[in-house]
Amino acid sequence: MSATVHHLGRDSAPSLEPIMSLVASDMNQVNSVILDRMQSEIPLIPELAGHLIAGGGKRMRPMLTLAAAKLIGYAGTRHFKLAAAVEFIHTATLLHDDVVDGSDLRRGKAAANLIFGNPATVLVGDFLFSRAFELMVEDGSLKVLKILSNASAVIAEGEVNQLTAQRKIDTSEDRYLDIIGAKTAALFAAASRISAVVAECDEEVELALDSYGRNLGIAFQLVDDAIDYSSDRETMGKDAGDDFREGKVTLPVILAYARGSEEDRKFWKDAIIGHKSSDEDLGRATGLLRSTGAIDDTMSRARHYGQRAIDALGIFPSGKAREAMTEAVEFAISRAY
Amino acid sequence: MSATVHHLGRDSAPSLEPIMSLVASDMNQVNSVILDRMQSEIPLIPELAGHLIAGGGKRMRPMLTLAAAKLIGYAGTRHFKLAAAVEFIHTATLLHDDVVDGSDLRRGKAAANLIFGNPATVLVGDFLFSRAFELMVEDGSLKVLKILSNASAVIAEGEVNQLTAQRKIDTSEDRYLDIIGAKTAALFAAASRISAVVAECDEEVELALDSYGRNLGIAFQLVDDAIDYSSDRETMGKDAGDDFREGKVTLPVILAYARGSEEDRKFWKDAIIGHKSSDEDLGRATGLLRSTGAIDDTMSRARHYGQRAIDALGIFPSGKAREAMTEAVEFAISRAY
């Protein structure tokens, strides 16, 4: 599943290391803003927010903002605050997701709602979301505010759309792509784009970065959905089969259902409405996903979007930033599953 | 409890009618924006939002925005969108409150979370919140964005503060005032103030309107807290004693606890941690609230803030708008309890 590695003439497996090095010193600035602005006189707020924010996570979205700034040669500092705003929006949606999904684990730790309860988790999410807008207002770009308020509305719509599709085996691939385009890719796109706004680049540059982030986001989510059926608590930070047990109709399931026999389809129908959620059922599901090629083809779709992300960088001069951003995509689509 | 009525030389009880007439035609404009902008391709969003938005509610906050515009003679239309944004922020917090409190009733109807479930209720709240920011961005005033993003963060902080104080009988009056100043009064203040911003009034005008809204908000909440111990489903749209059963330490309880005998205090401690929540216990609580004068004095505190709201209007010329805004305060503090 690392077909694209040789393509780039690299010897080792692709990694996030180059993009992390590229932005390491800038990320320290972003982290200070994050730590500074998650504070509040109400102690529960930094405590709960810190559980998630300090507790790991790759800071993928702020990383995109910072990498994009390097790519276009932006030498200012405005994007530090905006990258922190992006991370706050993301953290707010994760907190609300944990309440929505009734999650047990997040990033390998107990999910915030389990420790602090649903009420506090909802409200601290609201706080971080408001704080994100305060940061954007301080920066003062109405264009950035427009991009991120729109992305936020789209994310919420995508989450509701996903909720409505839950336990519906007849969800189409198109609808599924709409959902992940909204709930995941919209913020990747906005995070990549906003550096071009503060650097006052041409529209063409903005759109290329938007496309990079959006396609990377879709690829990223598709791989996550494939991994959900194969990985374990240690490597993924959550349990395998969570999507299955929650009746989430992700692309692997859509493909396996479309390609299955009558008997297989009956199994999927029962499983997705929640009548089959034992470990044995999960085993059968995983078997069907592999035998129908549903997992392989989900990965193949992911590579398609990954390649589009890489090609969107074509207008930029080659160099360390572009290489690192390219390898980040390669990494996303070559993760173990 | 209508001591201030004669003060104004009015014959009938104060009512919201004058302020509602004052803004009636403008409110139609705001309602169109609200109805237009709560739409989404995901049908569950307008369905759930409409349950609350179309389902009554006095639109107090947008009313303040519109009345303030009349008071200062603003002749533009920008405040229609902003008033809708304020109502969206308010609706989002109500939806999240219903999840946080596990409410059964809201505005006399089943609360959204009971009908649509917690997940959808959280997410549609997020959607409305994002949509509010989109409306503000369209208007384009960074100053308004600053006021309302700050108010939103303060509201969330106030809600978390309230959650932390829940079931804590030793909550002080000061802390309680901090809580309602944040969770209720901040949005009243912002709603009143933003018309002065779009009308480009002097800072003095902005601050007077902020003070009017803030003090009215505190008065309003104090009266609500008194009413919670006395009203019923028909007049209040929710059950009497909800605060009691949820262990909310509101001002009536703070005063009754401070003034109670050892035995009374033991009752309050047990009740607030949740060991006394029968109808009989509620009856005893209500008796203590009356015998200690806690309810009367909560109303008296409300009148204090109400009077400050009225006095904040002192810099404005007398006329229909100022009279209507004054009577709105009189109404708030004279509601039956």
Residues of A in contact with B157 (CB under 8 A): 40-42, 45, 127
Confidence of residue A110 (pLDDT cuts 50, 70, 90): confident
Which of A122, A128, A144 is most worth mutating to test chain B (most B CB atoms within 10 A of its CB)?
A122
Identify whether the C-beta of residue B152 lies closer than 8 Å to the C-beta of residue B129: yes
Please report the pLDDT score of residue B59 as a whole number. 94
What span, in angstroms and rounded, lies between the C-alpha atoms of B178 and B158? Answer: 7
The CB density around residue B6, as the number of other CB atoms within 10 Å, is 9
B4 — contact with chain A (CB < 8 Å)? no
Identify whether the C-beta of residue B211 lies closer than 8 Å to the C-beta of residue B236: no
The answer to whether residue A290 scores a pLDDT higher than 60 is yes
Helix (H) or strand (E) segment spanning residue A109: strand A109-110
What span, in angstroms and rounded, lies between the C-alpha atoms of A130 and A78? Answer: 19
A39 — contact with chain B (CB < 8 Å)? no
Distance from CA of A148 to the nearest CA of B (A): 9
Domain ranges of chain A: 3-334
Distance from CA of A12 to the nearest CA of B (A): 42
Distance from CA of A91 to the nearest CA of B (A): 13
Please report the pLDDT score of residue A232 as a whole number. 56
pLDDT one-digit tens code per residue, A190-213? 999 999 999 999 999 999 999 999
**B12-334 — its CATH code?**
1.10.600.10
DSSP-based three-state secondary structure for A219: helix
Please report the pLDDT score of residue B77 as a whole number. 98
B138: CB partners within 8 A, 6+ apart: B81
Token digits for A151?
A: 């992305």
What span, in angstroms and rounded, lies between the C-alpha atoms of A138 and A132? Answer: 10
The reply to whether residue A96 touches residue B123, judged by beta carbons under 8 angstroms, is yes
B123 — contact with chain A (CB < 8 Å)? yes
Task: Among A83-97, A294-308, B55-69, B308-322, name the one with the lowest average pLDDT.
Answer: B55-69
Please report the pLDDT score of residue A157 as a whole number. 97
What are the 10-residue block averages of pLDDT along chain B, 337 residues in total? 46 91 97 96 95 83 98 98 98 94 75 91 97 98 98 97 93 97 98 98 98 98 91 58 88 96 96 88 93 95 98 97 98 82
Please report the pLDDT score of residue A2 as a whole number. 40
**Spatial CA neighbour of B154 closest among A193, A41, A310, A171:** A41
Please report the pLDDT score of residue A10 as a whole number. 64
The reply to whether residue A164 touches residue B126, judged by beta carbons under 8 angstroms, is no
Please report the pLDDT score of residue B336 as a whole number. 64
Distance from CA of B313 to the nearest CA of A (A): 29
Confidence of residue A6 (pLDDT cuts 50, 70, 90): very low
Confidence of residue A101 (pLDDT cuts 50, 70, 90): confident
Query: Could you tell me the sign of the dihedral formed by the alpha carbons of B162, B164, B165, B169, in that order?
Result: positive
A186 — contact with chain B (CB < 8 Å)? no
A122 — contact with chain B (CB < 8 Å)? yes
The answer to whether residue A311 scores a pLDDT higher than 90 is yes
The DSSP symbol for B106 reads E
B47 — contact with chain A (CB < 8 Å)? no
Please report the pLDDT score of residue A337 as a whole number. 52
What span, in angstroms and rounded, lies between the C-alpha atoms of B158 and B182? Answer: 5
The reply to whether residue A131 touches residue B120, judged by beta carbons under 8 angstroms, is no
Which of B40, B42, B136 is most worth mutating to test chain A (most A CB atoms within 10 A of its CB)?
B42
Q: Which alpha helices (DSSP H) does A10-71 contain, by range? A: 17-37, 44-53, 60-71
b/e map A143-178, b = 16+ CB within 10 Å: ebbbbbbbbbbbbbbbbbbbbbbbbebebeeebbbb
Average pLDDT of chain A is 92
B258 — contact with chain A (CB < 8 Å)? no
Percent of chain A with pLDDT over 70: 92
Please report the pLDDT score of residue A277 as a whole number. 81
The reply to whether residue A126 touches residue B99, judged by beta carbons under 8 angstroms, is no
A294: CB partners within 8 A, 6+ apart: A251, A252, A253, A255, A256, A259, A288
Residues of B in contact with A122 (CB under 8 A): 96, 99-100, 122
Beta strands of A186-329 (E only): which ranges? Answer: none
Please report the pLDDT score of residue B150 as a whole number. 98
Please report the pLDDT score of residue B2 as a whole number. 40
Classify A3-334 by CATH class. Answer: mainly alpha
Q: Average pLDDT for residues A73-80, to the nearest whole number?
A: 98
A123 — contact with chain B (CB < 8 Å)? yes
Please report the pLDDT score of residue A235 as a whole number. 55
Please report the pLDDT score of residue B6 as a whole number. 41
Residue predicted with more confidence, A5 or A308? A308
